[in-house]
Copies of this chain bind each other. A is one copy, B any other.
Amino acid sequence: MPDQPRVEFRTGPERYRHWRLVTDGPVATLTMDVDEQGGIVPGYELKLNSYDLGVDIELYDAVQRLRFEHPEVRAVVITSGKPKIFCAGANIRMLAASPHGWKVNFCKFTNETRNGIEDATAHSGQTYLAAVNGTASGGGYELALACEHIMLIDDRSSAVSLPELPLLGVLPGTGGLTRVSDKRHVRRDLADYFSTKAEGIGGKKAVQWRLVDEAVPRPRWDETVAERAAELAARSSRPAGAEGVALTELRKTRDDDVITYDHVAARMDRDACRVDISVKGPQTGPPAGLAEARNAQFWPLAVTRELDDLILDLRTNETELGTWVFRTEGDPATVLAYDELLLASKDDWFAHEVLHYLKRTLRRLDVTSRSLIAAIEPGSCFAGSLLELALAADRSFQLAGVFEDQDPDADPATITLGEANLGPLTMSNGLTRLQTRFWGDEAGYEAAAKRKNEPLEAEDAADLGLITFAPDDIDWDEEIRIATEERASFSPDALTGLEANYRFAGPETMETKIFGRLSAWQNWIFNRPNAAGPDGALRRFGTGQRAVFDRKRV
């Protein structure tokens, strides 16, 4: 694979090459019709509705827009625009030619998009229906698995399959195994058999084994899909008569050193392998009511969109910058005021969407394989929703006092817990970041939560266990320098593993299983000669030659 061009995640329906988004009252249809010539990097054709990162960027965009721009949509049908094939999954030539890091990052993003589909179904009254009108293999079936209801056309040739193991010597990369066992409750021995049959399973057997929900003959297909979509739409709690909020194009400038948006900026230090990220709090107080807030400039939505884009950009394009240092700038009280407006209007569809979007964006941060550090200085606004950045960090530093030689009269840095930290912004493990932090320490949690809405200076914050270290201004620069330099000196792989384990204490969910367990196994397999070596299955696929395996079981 040639040097990857810089990947850009901003897009919109008018620019889609691979999907068509059509809404018809309460039902939207997302039709996958991949442009074979539209690969995001050169070197492969996207045959048979196979996909690469570019295809998935459009899908992610569509799923987002449906939530914000289409409050009227209550059911989303995902189907194929190609005859006899629903989706062949991730493009194999792309996978075979990609460096390890690209494969892993690609799978992570596709996983997040599938989780986003489930999140829309669970929390947004937009229920996804997979109308599998042809064969769905591998990632194609995994896309269907992310939907609430799976219909398979019953035509004696269409089937669902996970052929990764028999054909490619890898695992399904987008949650397939976990969803088969833990979501659809396919019995483990049947799941095992299914995952070894490259040709897949269709018809009644696919229903009996719970691989799909129904198999529908072609003559009744269109009408049954419409019927089901209407049924799913009827269950929805989406509002009547609401107007959508257009996700206008993000303003972004980017060069090799700096990325800037309206509220977020990132400065890249390639020598230090680090990015300094600063997030601005709102410049003005919140509007009196949500009526005036329904637009993409509304600070909580705007800043979340910028953070989302930045995380994706840095993750994909700046893989050598292993440490991200977060700072904030602004008035903590104003951040809390915005949070309050959102939380007080939780039953409003738009406020609800903004909160869930922030939740998803912070989860993206949690599973980002970068060391995260928060630097809490005078003038910062780590309060409520923005405090989550510090709670997501692997370590946080809060200045004790002020920078005496810069601004001795400044107010000391504070952090403030708000209602936003106590419930809505759950991690993948189902707990808030505060609950995860105090997992197994109920008293510590209670002591911290009691101080809600109280600005906490460094000493208090440290005593309460809300920050890691509280250096004074004499030690400040040195401590942060040492922490980031040290981070840059460690094995990036070992850091990724360490962080993936420590960030998720406590309970497990399907989402943590996918990111923690399944992805780790897949990454291991991706890295083994049996898959990725010159004679491995992934590389030999389609050559007519069989893979050569080292038969040792590990």
Q: Which residues of A contact B (CB under 8 A)?
A: 100-101, 104-105, 164-166, 168-171, 177-178, 180-182, 185, 187-193, 195-196, 273, 319-322, 369-370, 393-396, 436-441, 465, 467-468, 486-488, 490-503, 505-508, 513, 516-518, 520-525, 527-528, 530-531, 536-537, 547, 549-554
Contacts and interface: CB of A to CB of B under 8 A. Distances in A.
Nearest to A439: B185
A48 B101 CA distance: 38
Contacts of A502: 177, 180-181, 188, 191-192, 195
A290 to B, nearest CB: 35
A446 to B, nearest CB: 15
B554 A319 contact: yes
Given A171-B501, A189-B396, A495-B553, 14 more contacts: A166-B490, A169-B491, A170-B491, A177-B498, A177-B501, A188-B394, A189-B468, A195-B498, A195-B502, A491-B531, A491-B547, A491-B549, A497-B522, A517-B517
Given A322-B551, A492-B551, A506-B182, A497 B468 contact: no
Contacts of A164: 494
21 contacts: A171-B494, A171-B497, A188-B394, A188-B503, A190-B468, A192-B498, A196-B486, A196-B487, A196-B490, A369-B553, A369-B554, A370-B553, A488-B551, A491-B537, A493-B530, A494-B525, A497-B521, A497-B525, A500-B517, A508-B508, A527-B527
A531 B516 CA distance: 20
B189 A393 contact: yes
Contacts of A520: 517, 520-521, 523-524
B165 A491 contact: yes
Contact of A436 (B188, B395, B492, B522): B188
Nearest to A528: B493
A438 to B, nearest CB: 8
A178 B498 CA distance: 10
A549 B273 CA distance: 13
In this complex, the member of A101, A439, A501, A520 whose beta carbon has the largest number of chain B beta carbons within 10 angstroms is A501
A185 B440 contact: yes
Which 5 A-B residue pairs are closest in the complex by CB-CB distance? Answer: A185-B440, A169-B491, A520-B520, A508-B508, A497-B521
Contact of A468 (B193, B439, B554): B193
Nearest to A547: B491
